[in-house]
Structure formats: structure tokens, C-alpha cells
Amino acid sequence: MLSLFAAAVIVPSSIVVLGSFKKDVEIYTKPLALPETWNLDNFRTLIDSGSIFTPFKNSVIVAVFSVFFTVLFASLVAYAIARSVTISGKVLFGLFAIGLAIPGQVNIIPIFTLFTKLGLNNSLLGLVLVNIALTLPISVFIISAFFKDLPKEMFEVASIDGANHWRVYRSIAMPLARPAIGATSIFLFVICWNDLLYPLMLINELDKKTLPLILIDYRGEFATSYSMLFTAIMFASIPMVLMYVFAQRSFIAGLTAGAVKG
Amino acid sequence: MAAPALAIYSFLYLYPALTNLLYATQRWDGVTTPEFVGLKNFKNLLTNDDLFLKILGNNVRFSLIVVIFQTGFALLFATFLLKNTKTNILLRTIYFFPTILSSVSVGLIWTFLYDPNYGFINATLKAIGLDSLALNWLGDSKYSLYAVAVTQVWFHTGQMVVIYVAGLQQIPAELYEAAEVDGASRWQQFKNITWPMALPTTAVVVAYTTIQTFRAFDLIYSMTQGGPLNSSDLLVTMVFNTAFVGYKFGYAATQTIFLVLLVLLVTWLQRRVLRIDDGGKK
């Protein structure tokens, strides 16, 4: 039973990986076999056409900036929540908790109209802003849970020595929070990298598209050529796979973060 | 300190949510001036819209199937992969792999697998002589929803296995040892120790899976686009189509509100049924 599911994962993955090196016919007749010749034509075609680089670059820009600013802003809020003894801390937390309950997709229409009015559609900046807004709730949740677990004394010691909040945040809270920050960053990076809905809605111009969008385009363009599709999937997935191979623990921790209490 | 976060969050999350309520009371094609129609959209949605009811049915079936199978498989696998042996860790790593792929990639991969003529599934079925089972998985309105459900389960079970392993590993081993001494069978141990103590984790997995199924826009869009004949359409793809294909922004906003309320209701019901202890066990 267990090996069956493992096979269910390995088989399609191998088909894709091997398939990107094969010609179409080979994929249909011998999907699981090693390619007769390790054919780099597909890769060359995609690279030469240049149509894969811009989306790749766009995805990188959007993901990196979204994650960076979300983590930055979320940790600031989480710090404020964890260190506050008044009701404002609870209010703040509650405000972001609303975002946890309500799926981000409810806002697609208002955001669309708002961005069209502001001219932010078809812009990577717009995507970054949306990503930040959408992922703030879960980030705040994870990071503030982490801060809450830290003993109060760590923060108070510095305050007594005269350090103001920014100092404490910068020199104590953030270094200690590194595991939570790392896990959250990976979690957010995967979400932003793989997101389809908001980019689909906001972006029409070819040179602003992200990888998922270009994959959809390829579905039409290469409808008859699965080998090309597989090659494109390889391009889109390589960063994730590399990260997964080298940072497995943080990866898994990040993607299941906040899910298990205690 | 919280200022930047609050600013972006309020402007791009809270404020749009409120304007959504406003849009729901209008009839608007996104270009001309909107026309205020009060609660007519809501009334139409609940009484006049057969497509909506069909898609609601789709979504409920989809979510139910995925939740049952994904949770079931995850719990099953987690129980067997509990110990941190090298094989178990390897298997867990393999199971988790699909989670990191983009949903579009997953959709495309499974579109290939399901291809009625060239796809791996049908090719294998034909090769072992089961031609009659080589159906048109995505192209037949009878099967498309279920085909996508299988893909969804493939996509996220690994993630739930990891969550379950973390939860199950917190159950003290002494409980099982005591049960063994008392002569309890594996099934009895599962029923009386594992299941009750894993209930909080089950609640998390079920909730998380449910929310994922309501969000499965990417998979549907890249596999079937809701077809054929809306057989694999979900609420979220319906909203998208109403707005950006049908240009009925006001009506789509109404649908969105309904979607949100439904998700909140389902999540709340699940919490009641699985009795989550909100006191925060530590």
C-alpha cells in the first residue's frame, strides 16, 4: 500500500523529467524508459525562443519582493502584538485573524477594479502588493506564535538597559526568530511562485507574465507536444525542487507551519 | 511598528472586502456605470440560478470526496510511517514532493496522464487488456469532477501526512505499550488510542483540506476549465467566469459573498463536530 503511493508520485515525476529529453512519440510509446538519446532540443527551443526567460525573471522578482516585505512587515506586527500588554495588541491580532478565516479569493473583483483604476494592473508591483496583503495574516499568525513562546525576560532585559523597541526588535527578537522566519519565507515563496489566480486576473501583457501564466499559454501553444510542456514544467519547477533537495527540513516545516499546535 | 503592515492590509484586504459587499448590490459589467439593484442579486442567486445550484453540488461532492480520501490516506500512511527510520523519512519525503510543484504543473502533468489516446493511464490499461476501463477521464462530464479530485488528493496528501506524523508523534508511547500488555490488537489500539488522541490533528487536517478544495481554482483552470458542461466547475471558477467572462461584476461579487459564508459555515461545523479544544493544549 505504502509503496503504491510512492510509485504514484515517482512514476509521473519520472515521466516528466525523462520526457523533457525525449521526442513526443517516445513519450507515448515508452514513457518510463530512459530516452534513446538525451535530447536537448526541447530545452534549446525554449531558451532560444526567449519566451521562458522573462516569465522566469518576473516570477523571481515577484516572489522575492513579496516574501521579503511580507516577512519584514509581519515580524514588525508580530513583535508589536507579542510585546503589547494593552488591548490594542489583541485588537491588532484579531484584525489579522479575520484574514485567516476569509479566503483571499473573495477580493478578486474589488482588487481588479481598484487596480484598474490605479493603473496597477499589468504591473509586477501590483502583484507584489496583493501578495503581501494576502499572506500577511498567516505570516503574522506564525511569527507572533513564535514570539509568544519566547520568555518575556529576554525582551525585558534589554529594555531595562535602556534599549528602545527598535533596538530590541533588531538585536534580540529577529535573530531569535530565525527558524520561524526561515520557514515562513519558504512557505510564502512557494505560494507566490506558484500562484495563478491573481496573476491571471491582473496581467495580460506578455512581458509581465509569471511562470504559471506562461505554462497556461504553452498549453495552447504546445497542445500537441507534451515533451515541450514537460520541458516547460521542468523550468518552472527547478527552483522549487532545488530548494526542496537542499533545504528539506525548513521546507517541510514551513509548509506545515502553524498547522500543529504544541 | 505595525504601520506598514496595517496600511497595506487595510487597503488591499479589508477595504476590498467591504467594497465587495457594495458591488454585490449592483448590476455592473465592469465598464459602464453600475446600477444599484439592492438585494436582487442575492435573490436571483438563491432562487433563480440553476447553474449555481449545480456548481454548488459539484463543490460539495468534490470537497467531501477529497477530504475523506486525503485525510484517510494521510492518517493511514502516517500511522505506518510514524517511526523516524531512514525508510520512513525517505517515503515521507517522496510523498511530500507533489506539494512543492505549482498547481499548473500538476494540472498539466495529470492532463497528460488522463489523455484518452496517449495518456499513461489509458495506455497502461490497454496494455493489460482492460480497454473498457480506458475512459475519457477529463472529457466526459460523468468523470471529470472525480478525475480532478484524484489529482487534488495526489497533490496534497503528502502535506497532510507530515502534519499527521507530527501530531501522532506526540502521543506517548507508554499508552501503546500498556495496551499491548493488556492484549489489545492493533485495530483496538488505533480505535481507542490513536484516533481520539489524534482528533485535534484530524481537525486541522480536515479544515486545511477543506479550504484547499474551495481554493482549487488553479487545478480546474489548467485541467478542464470547468467543463465539459460545467461538470467540473467549482464555486471559485464560477465566480471567475461570471466576472471576467460574463462581465457580471455585481453578480460575481454576490457569489463571492456566498462562497465566503459557505466556507465559514463549513469550517465552523467541522470545529463543532470534531470538538476542537480552543484552550490551547501545550
Nearest CB neighbour to A197, from listed B80, B218, B280? B218
Q: What is the CA radius of gyration of chain A?
A: 22
Chain A residues within 8 A of B14 when measuring between CB atoms = 95, 98
Nearest CB neighbour to A109, from listed B9, B256, B282? B256
Which tops the pLDDT comparison, B67 or A183? B67
Q: Residue B58 phi/psi, 5° resolution?
A: -55, -50
Per the domain annotation, does B6 fall within a domain?
no
Residue B163 has, within 13 A of its CA and on its CB side, a CA count of 31
The length of chain B is 282
Omega before residue A199 within 30° of 0, cis = no
Provide the domain limits for residue B187.
Answer: 35-274
Greatest CA separation for chain A: 73
Per the domain annotation, does B196 fall within a domain?
yes
Task: Provide the CATH topology of domain A53-204.
Answer: MetI-like fold (1.10.3720)
Nearest CB neighbour to B256, from listed A99, A106, A132? A106
Q: Residue B280 phi/psi, 5° resolution?
A: 80, 85
Q: What is the pLDDT of residue B58?
A: 87
Chain B residues within 8 A of A104 when measuring between CB atoms = 13
CA B256 to centroid of chain Cα atoms = 17
Q: Residue A51 phi/psi, 5° resolution?
A: -75, -5
Per the domain annotation, does B17 fall within a domain?
no
C-alpha–C-alpha distance, residues B5 and B56, integer Å:
35
Only one residue has cell 529576554, namely: A154
Region A138-146: mean pLDDT is 84
Q: What is the pLDDT of residue B276?
A: 52
Q: What is the domain-level CATH number for residue B269?
A: 1.10.3720.10
Question: How many percent of chain A have pLDDT more than 90?
Answer: 2
Nearest CB neighbour to A8, from listed B13, B80, B154? B154
Q: What ipTM score was computed for the predicted complex, to two decimals? A: 0.81
Q: What is the pLDDT of residue B228?
A: 79
- Show the low-confidence residues of chain B (pLDDT under 50): 277-282
Burial class (CB in 10 A: 0-12, 13-18, 19+), B199: middle
pTM of the model: 0.83
Cell of B103: 498547481
Q: What is the CA radius of gyration of chain B?
A: 23
Strand residues in A191-242 grouped as ranges (E): none
Write a three-state SS string for A88-151.
HHHHHHHHHHHHHHCCHHHHHHHHHHHHHHHCCCCCHHHHHHHHHHHHHHHHHHHHHHHHHHCC
CB-CB contact of B111 with A26 (8 Å): no
Nearest to A100 by CA among B107, B263, B125: B263
Q: What is the pLDDT of residue B239?
A: 85
Region A174-194: mean pLDDT is 83
* Per-residue CA distances from A172 to A76, A83, A149, A232 (Å): 13, 13, 14, 44
C-alpha–C-alpha distance, residues B230 and A25, integer Å:
32
- Give A164→chain B minimum CA distance, Å: 12
CA angle in degrees (0–180, nearest 5) for A194-A13-B64: 65
Strand residues in chain B grouped as ranges (E): 26-27, 35-36
Nearest CB neighbour to A107, from listed B17, B120, B221? B17
Domain ranges of chain A: 53-204
Per the domain annotation, does B115 fall within a domain?
yes
Does residue B103 sit at the A interface (CB-CB below 8 Å)? yes
Q: What is the pLDDT of residue B275?
A: 65
Only one residue has cell 508580530, namely: A78
DSSP state of B14: I
Region A144-172: mean pLDDT is 74
The b/e string for A13-42 (b: 16+ C-beta within 10 A; e otherwise) is: bebbebbbbbbbebbbeebeeebeeeeeeb
- pLDDT at residue A233 above 70? yes
Region A60-68: mean pLDDT is 91
Per the domain annotation, does B7 fall within a domain?
no
Does residue B222 sit at the A interface (CB-CB below 8 Å)? yes
Does an H or E element contain B186, and which?
helix B186-189
Alpha helices in chain B (DSSP H): 3-9, 15-23, 40-47, 50-80, 86-96, 103-114, 120-127, 144-168, 173-181, 186-189, 195-197, 199-214, 217-223, 235-244, 249-274
Chain B residues within 8 A of A82 when measuring between CB atoms = none
Count of domains in chain B?
1
CA angle in degrees (0–180, nearest 5) for A70-A71-A74: 80
Is B103–A194 a contact, with Cβ atoms under 8 angstroms apart? yes
CB-CB contact of B211 with B267 (8 Å): yes
Chain B residues within 8 A of A190 when measuring between CB atoms = 100
Is A101–B23 a contact, with Cβ atoms under 8 angstroms apart? no
Strands B35-36, B26-27: pairing kind: antiparallel
Which of B6, B10, B13, B59 is the best residue to mutate to test the A interface, defined by the most A CB atoms within 10 Å of its own CB?
B13
The b/e string for A43-77 (b: 16+ C-beta within 10 A; e otherwise) is: bebbeeeebbeebbebbeebbebbbebbbbbbbbb
Chain B residues within 8 A of A250 when measuring between CB atoms = none
DSSP state of B96: H
